[in-house]
Amino acid sequence: MVVSRAEVLGMCMGVRRAETLARKAAQDGSCGQRPVFTYGPLIHNPQAVAALEAEGVRVLDPSSVDSPDWADRLRNAIVVIRAHGAPPEVFSRLDTLGTLVVDATCPRVIKSQRKAADLVRQGYQVVIAGDRSHGEVMGILGYAPGAVVAESSAEAVATAKRFSRLPVALIAQLCPATSERQNSLDSLAARVSAIVVVGGKNSANTQRLFLAAKASGKPSWHIERAGELPKEIFSFASVGLTAGASTPDSMVDEVESYLLGLNP
């Protein structure tokens, strides 16, 4: 079997940087014995979250930040803000508690937050395109008081009509990471007879990659671990490999080795 990787695949710059900062916080001697938490899961990938936990980086339920029960624990803790960012109130609250904050917000997300804040200041009704439960969208909302979220183009149009007395500005993700992976997948699909998408089942961008893989017409699988692949995968002469923007390199390597029969 020939296994081909998509030209662009796997962890994006922002998630990679956040992971490095979280590891550094856990290892950094100057942090003493402080417990290290991430504000919500750092990565939409259960295996990567478990690996970080083994290194002492635990996931903090965002609601704990406002809970009096957590105040003492957080006072002595380090909290890493993930690549998605967080609303300004979260930074203020942690600051009040005396928590040491490591801000791993992706520079591209910061650009979106600043853009949204700027547009609100200029008098625009800001509409943020995206999933309203996504951490990045919730973070941007925090910087743009009065902004609303639209999950579809129909919702964006309806919102624009609702606020027709104001100029309306639509903000979408200002990041090429998703489109680069999608475009690479398109050219990969033309060269292979089946496609494997590696990444967390809870990762929205991995799910979208999988939908694009299926739309290519090639038999496709979305897996987190190599062991989830069916035996029929070995009947294909060429298999294409891609991975979402939160998938660690080690997982892509593991699946590639499995397909090549190097770790049966």
* Nearest distance, CB of residue 109 and ligand SF4, angstroms: 5
Handedness of CA 139, 142, 144, 147 (dihedral sign): positive
Q: Kindly state whether residue 175 participates in binding ligand SF4, applying the rule CB under 6 A.
A: yes
- Contacts with ligand SF4: how many residues (CB under 6 A)? 11
Tokens of 97: 């508690």
Q: Kindly state whether residue 21 participates in binding ligand SF4, applying the rule CB under 6 A.
A: no
52 vs 194, beta carbon nearer ligand SF4: 52
- CA 136/CA 85 separation, integer angstroms: 6
Among 13, 120, 148, 170, binds ligand SF4 (CB under 6 A): 13
User: CB count, 10 Å around CB of 256?
Assistant: 19
User: Does the active-site annotation cover 136?
Assistant: yes
- CA 90/CA 111 separation, integer angstroms: 18
Site for ligand SF4 in 62-121 (CB under 6 A): 83, 106, 108-109
The CA distances from residue 256 to 97, 159, 227, 252, 259, in Å, are 46, 45, 12, 6, 5
* Nearest distance, CB of residue 33 and ligand SF4, angstroms: 30
Paired residues of 168 in beta bridges: 125
User: CB count, 10 Å around CB of 240?
Assistant: 28
Tokens of 95: 């600051």
Site string for ligand SF4, 204-243 (x = CB under 6 A): ----------------------------------------
**Choices 11-19, 34-42, 121-129, 215-223 (CB under 6 A): range interacting with ligand SF4:** 11-19
1 vs 110, beta carbon nearer ligand SF4: 110
Under DSSP, the state recorded for 33 is T
Residue ranges binding ligand SF4 (CB under 6 A): 12-15, 83, 106, 108-109, 175, 177, 245
Active site (catalytic) residues: 136
